[in-house]
Chain A
Amino acid sequence: MSVARTLISSWGNLGRVEHLTAIPSFRDELPSALGELIAQGGSVLGYGLGRSYGDSCLNGGGGLLVTERLDRCLSFDRTTGVFRAEAGLSIAELNRITIPKGWFVPVTPGTKFVTLGGAVANDVHGKNHHVTGTFGRHVRRLGLLRSDGSVIECSPDLEGDLFRATIGGLGLTGLIEWVEIGLEPIVSDEIEMESIRFRNVHAFFELSAESASWPYTVSWIDVLSQGAALGRGIFMRGRHATTGGFQSKGSGPALTVPVTPPMGLVMPLSVRIFNEAYYRRPGATYSGRTRFDPFFYPLDSVHHWNRVYGPRGFFQYQSVLPPETAQAGTREMLKRIAASGQGSCLVVLKNFGDVPSSGMLSFPAAGTTLALDFPNRGERTLALFASLDEVVSTSGGRLYAGKDARMSPAMFRAGYPELKEFQPFVDPAFSSDFQRRVILG
């Protein structure tokens, strides 16, 4: 298996790092690809579509085994919805294959450009977390290739501890070779949705509470609003339509941001104008049907949208606070962000449910999650994060590793009490920049 030297940056575009890469097309090439990368690079990490924002998908100077060509379906039972595929299959492809047959991925993140392997390694969540829990809850079985050459099949009942370490394990327990999940039956590819303006944080919590019967809920927040309007935003809730069938037509061609502009386009003034307009636009209150694509993946219609943040890239900050402290903590975080004048248009607020996550290092937990993009303005941005960390820590919350490029080792340890149990399952030849910076830091 040939390896190449390649510069790779994660989704946050915070810097290009040289890696040794191999892109096997067939599973029989995996042992030699792993061996070659470990021999030449010292360590290896599986790499899917690179949608992690920070450094959890990077292994600078070491090996990256790119899984995008390992995207074959292995089995699909159309009566039970049990689906198995190689780990490089994307959710976009999965949707194309299974939706016309009446089956939908039980948990989908806000982009369809993630692989099954990446969905497992980050134990991703979706708009339906309060009902269905994380992606890992729906993984029935997976195949893990270890650097000693063994292939270990694991499930909640089989090698259960290794399974729990691998779900949300950031790819450190070995290469996820294939994944079997249970899909959810649907009768239409449309979503019945409602979109409602809310005037502040308190109104968000009220709307969340009264929307518990909606399987999909998520909110956008105007992060620059202050005072009585602190945390105003738009609440969206949806459910699969119960009539209507499946349209054969896919979504139209996507737009692309073709190059990184020399300066970021996300500046306080442009954010303020966008947020005001987005909050006030007529479509902000809506009730009706929509195709699944714009409902679940609004940003996927613009390829490389991450480039609008310019050459310095951007950070995402995603936290979860437990229910007891969620409302006060969220308000305090929003206050500090508004006061800092930083922030962007992409701000998501959602209440997680209490379905336990299946991984030792899974991020989601009962409470409220806040996710924000911040253009990288160096020290100013990092200072704001330090201030937000204080709120998260005192509220008993934690941060999402898959989004992170800057949290401290202490912050991670405090947020993930099962880290000690996780460590023994790490494959000695697997590593990542995140692991070296935060887990071993």
Chain B
Amino acid sequence: MVGEGVIILGGTSAVAEHYARRLAARGARLLLVGRNAERLTPIAGDLLVRGAAFAETAVLDLAEPPAEGYQAAWNGLAERLGGTVDVVLLAYGVLGDQKAAETDPAETVRLLSSNMVSACAWMTAASVSMEQQGAGSLVAISSVAGDRGRQSNYIYGAGKGGLSVFMEGLAHRLAGTAIRVLTVKPGFIDTPMTDGMAKGGPLWATADKVAADIDRAVGKGRVVLYTPWFWGPILFVVRHLPRAIFHRLKI
């Protein structure tokens, strides 16, 4: 049996790497896409040792439009992987500096381009290929920050919120087909991305825990995944807080 074929956009992300390790242990074929060859290469090497049938890298700045166009670039990636593309995981994103972006339109555009515009473009390209193929899973890591605009991170949140709405619509359009569309909404994860924050306590999850949740949700064909699970009820409350209360909170 040929292992699952997986393309990971943002291969150096800690969650993506732990997800890839889980699939590698099952003999998957993996293509890691990202900017930094020096960092992607040891990750691919590690995946091979862990059992991947194929693990290669493609060096590409995903936040920038590719010269040959998104669709052609995507087709090239799928060809590099060879065989079916069973899972596409979009894992790149930038947290950015909320305070700086609040007064800097250029930084706002940069965060939105990375987290939403380019992400939706890649997902469109991937969905076109997957529709021709007929089946597979399209997975994007969004964030609980996209569920309601909050003063502490609404520019990052706007990008992730846009991505969530895009994925929601894609799931709607492809409902009834054999293509699954999953939006992942993690809370705080202990990764390099969050190293500037005070960590510890029950709200923080490991990258491996989030990766395990994603793996399980893909298997079950879920559409939205809050991970860890308690972010679902928390965000339900946050979304439904009356504005009179919400605006008094510094969150």
A97 and B49 contacting across the interface, CB-CB below 8 Å:
yes
- With a CB–CB cut-off of 8 A, which chain A residues contact B68? none
B42 and A97 contacting across the interface, CB-CB below 8 Å:
no
Q: Considering residues B12, B50, B51, which has the most beta carbons from chain A within 10 angstroms of its beta carbon?
A: B50
Interface residues of chain A, those whose CB is within 8 Å of chain B, are 2, 4, 23, 25-28, 69, 72-76, 85, 96-97
B49 and A75 contacting across the interface, CB-CB below 8 Å:
yes
| A–B complex contacts, Cβ < 8 Å, 13 sampled | A26-B12, A26-B39, A27-B42, A28-B38, A69-B192, A72-B46, A73-B46, A74-B42, A74-B45, A74-B49, A75-B45, A76-B49, A96-B25
- Asked if B196 is an interface residue, CB under 8 A from chain A, the answer is yes
B42 and A72 contacting across the interface, CB-CB below 8 Å:
yes
**Interface majority SS (helix, strand, loop, mixed), chain B:** helix
- With a CB–CB cut-off of 8 A, which chain B residues contact A28? 38-39
A97 and B50 contacting across the interface, CB-CB below 8 Å:
yes
Q: Considering residues A27, A74, A85, A97, which has the most beta carbons from chain B within 10 angstroms of its beta carbon?
A: A97
Q: Identify the closest chain A residue to B51 (Cβ).
A: A97
- With a CB–CB cut-off of 8 A, which chain A residues contact B192? 23, 25, 69
Contact status of A73 and B39, CB under 8 A, knowing A23-B195, A25-B192, A97-B50:
no
The 5 A-B pairs of least Cβ separation, nearest first, read A73-B49, A72-B46, A76-B49, A73-B46, A26-B39
CA distance A26 to B46 in the complex (A): 13
CA distance A28 to B36 in the complex (A): 11
- Asked if B43 is an interface residue, CB under 8 A from chain A, the answer is yes
- A37 smallest CB distance to B (angstroms): 14
- With a CB–CB cut-off of 8 A, which chain B residues contact A74? 42, 45-46, 49
B45 and A73 contacting across the interface, CB-CB below 8 Å:
yes
Contact status of A73 and B50, CB under 8 A, knowing A25-B14, A28-B38, A28-B39:
yes
- With a CB–CB cut-off of 8 A, which chain A residues contact B43? 72
Contact status of A2 and B196, CB under 8 A, knowing A25-B14, A26-B39, A28-B39:
yes
- B215 smallest CB distance to A (angstroms): 15
Q: Identify the closest chain A residue to B191 (Cβ).
A: A25
Interface residues of chain B, those whose CB is within 8 Å of chain A, are 12, 14, 25, 38-39, 42-43, 45-46, 49-51, 192, 195-196
- With a CB–CB cut-off of 8 A, which chain B residues contact A72? 42-43, 45-46
CA distance A26 to B40 in the complex (A): 10
CA distance A282 to B195 in the complex (A): 50
CA distance A433 to B12 in the complex (A): 35
Given contacts A27-B42, A72-B46, A74-B46, 9 further A-B contacts (CB under 8 A): A2-B195, A2-B196, A25-B192, A26-B38, A69-B192, A72-B42, A73-B50, A74-B42, A97-B25
B49 and A4 contacting across the interface, CB-CB below 8 Å:
no
- With a CB–CB cut-off of 8 A, which chain B residues contact A2? 195-196
CA distance A226 to B49 in the complex (A): 52
CA distance A23 to B42 in the complex (A): 17
CA distance A73 to B14 in the complex (A): 15
CA distance A97 to B50 in the complex (A): 6
CA distance A159 to B17 in the complex (A): 35
- A78 smallest CB distance to B (angstroms): 9
- A151 smallest CB distance to B (angstroms): 15
Partner of B195, one of A4, A75, A76, A97: A4
Q: Identify the closest chain B residue to A75 (Cβ).
A: B49
- A32 smallest CB distance to B (angstroms): 13
- With a CB–CB cut-off of 8 A, which chain B residues contact A4? 195
- With a CB–CB cut-off of 8 A, which chain A residues contact B25? 96-97
Q: Identify the closest chain B residue to A72 (Cβ).
A: B46
CA distance A74 to B50 in the complex (A): 10
- B1 smallest CB distance to A (angstroms): 15
CA distance A117 to B61 in the complex (A): 34
- B237 smallest CB distance to A (angstroms): 25
- B198 smallest CB distance to A (angstroms): 9
CA distance A73 to B51 in the complex (A): 11
Q: Identify the closest chain B residue to A3 (Cβ).
A: B195
- With a CB–CB cut-off of 8 A, which chain B residues contact A25? 14, 192
- With a CB–CB cut-off of 8 A, which chain A residues contact B49? 73-76, 85, 97
Q: Identify the closest chain A residue to B197 (Cβ).
A: A4
- B11 smallest CB distance to A (angstroms): 12
A26 and B50 contacting across the interface, CB-CB below 8 Å:
no
Q: Identify the closest chain A residue to B192 (Cβ).
A: A25
A26 and B42 contacting across the interface, CB-CB below 8 Å:
yes
- B10 smallest CB distance to A (angstroms): 14
- With a CB–CB cut-off of 8 A, which chain A residues contact B50? 73, 97
CA distance A26 to B39 in the complex (A): 7
Q: Considering residues B12, B14, B39, B49, which has the most beta carbons from chain A within 10 angstroms of its beta carbon?
A: B49
CA distance A69 to B42 in the complex (A): 13
- B168 smallest CB distance to A (angstroms): 32
CA distance A4 to B14 in the complex (A): 19
Q: Identify the closest chain A residue to B38 (Cβ).
A: A28
CA distance A311 to B239 in the complex (A): 40
- With a CB–CB cut-off of 8 A, which chain A residues contact B45? 72-75
- B112 smallest CB distance to A (angstroms): 25
